[in-house]
Chain A
């Protein structure tokens, strides 16, 4: 039988098993739903509240995607700038690492101070959360391009732009997509942090209010929604990655001749 199908079935079985175990343990030890609700209760809360939750889901998804899009634009631009010259790489890297190590939660109040509560700080937080993996990966991909490949182009009198476009960027694609998968989940984290601290809309805000009302099943329903959105976007980028950078994963193919 197909081993890929095997793995998929095993993966789904693990997820179902996880929730079954959770349900069974809650039931067996009689855990109160204020401490840890059963998965069945979470589903019920999710279904009951869904019409009210929907605008918040849209808000969170929209905020995350806009922030992520800006993150990609700025991240790629910075990555190309830093990665295309040895000098820029050496000079800018320390500053970049410095920025990357700032806890992003700490900057949310600053954004609120500058732009007020609401969507804008959430977008900005999602953006700065997603920028750094992209910058680092794009820069690394460009900086480690084999000199041989560039020599082929330079012998043809290719311009720097030609080389970047035909060798540097395609070669960086596997690094870029690896960073997108990390970044998109980080963008969700950024959005939810900001919504929790300073917003009256979005899943983060819903969870904040629900927890202050001790509506724990609703808090967990929020978590479930975030997990589902995160996994979906991760899956979309994995598919794109497989299509665009298939050349970089060729281990299960055989060479001929």
Chain B
């Protein structure tokens, strides 16, 4: 059973991220842990895919594989038609923890990718105080942080830091955006507000997004496609499109269609829980 079967028909040029028979295990011999079983996944250019599942099911592992932060034990990971790391794909990333560098102002933190990623890094010195600075300010304004550029991370609340973290993930106009539970540590209202911000930014910039989340409502609100995973070994057990029209609002999440979608996902995840944990 390959859950991604229906996507294999799409023209090959359109596929931006592809996992082919990928496995990942840690350790050796008897102590070996299979974090990820045989996995196939294809993500089209400009798509917004959410990965949901119980803790420890390897959601973040897939994300790290696609980022190239860890190598696969078996199989191949392709990004933009080449093996991961080989293609110069601009990549943005936001984690659950905002991971702002405490010695830099919020603006300098947001501008960090421009300092590192080509082709921007060549111009960083000359444009740091003009074009790049304006760009950072414009993004900060879009997430509701105008006027906070000169503050330091410790002067901001968790929600504000997470907004800044989104700006940092997007400032270099990444082709591929990796979101690892970026709203997980926030309160309900801030989270819903940031969903709207995220949706707006995605509709404007159209990067390919891979979102890892525990929150089914978040997945339904943001994603075009939801992949459900089970744990030990991590595997994709369901892959379904999300049909709601954009821009979506929080009201969508109260419609019967949305509720039945999240209910179905919930049942899938609960039924796929390993037996020893369910006891």
Contact = CB atoms under 8 A, between A and B. Distances in A.
B260 interface: no
Contacts of A257: 156-157, 159-160
B155 interface: yes
A171 B91 contact: no
Contacts of A114: none
B103 A152 contact: no
Contacts of B159: 257
Interface in B130-179: 152, 154-157, 159-160, 168, 172, 178
B99 interface: yes
Interface stretch (B13-21, B113-121, B230-238, B270-278): B113-121
Contacts of A106: none
B114 to A, nearest CB: 10
B29 interface: no
Contacts of B154: 247, 250, 253, 255
* Main SS class of interface, A: helix
B93 interface: yes
Contacts of A148: 95, 97, 99
Contact of A157 (B91, B168, B178): B91
Nearest to A247: B103
Given A256-B156, A257-B160, A155 B67 contact: yes
A151 B117 contact: no
A156 B113 contact: yes
B103 A253 contact: no
B112 interface: yes
Interface in A151-168: 151-158, 162, 166-167
B93 A155 contact: yes
Contacts of A162: 116
Q: Which residue, of B67, B159, B172, has the highest number of chain A Cβ atoms within 10 A?
A: B67
A253 B151 CA distance: 12
Range, interface on chain A: 20 to 34
Contact of A155 (B104, B155, B178): B178
B203 interface: no
Contacts of B11: none
A158 B97 contact: no
Given A253-B154, A255-B156, A154 B102 contact: no
Given A153-B116, A157-B116, A255-B154, A173 B91 contact: no
Interface string A129-161: 000000000000000001011011111111000
B155 A255 contact: yes
A152 B69 contact: no
Given A255-B155, A257-B160, A156 B97 contact: no
Given A152-B93, A155-B69, A248 B116 contact: no
Given A152-B95, A155-B178, A255-B157, 6 more contacts: A149-B101, A152-B93, A155-B69, A166-B112, A247-B103, A248-B102
Interface of A: 146, 148-149, 151-158, 162, 166-167, 170-171, 173, 245, 247-248, 250, 253, 255-257
7 contacts: A152-B99, A155-B91, A158-B116, A245-B103, A247-B102, A253-B155, A255-B157
Q: Which 8 A-B pairs have the closest CB atoms?
A: A257-B157, A155-B93, A247-B103, A156-B116, A158-B116, A148-B99, A170-B103, A247-B102
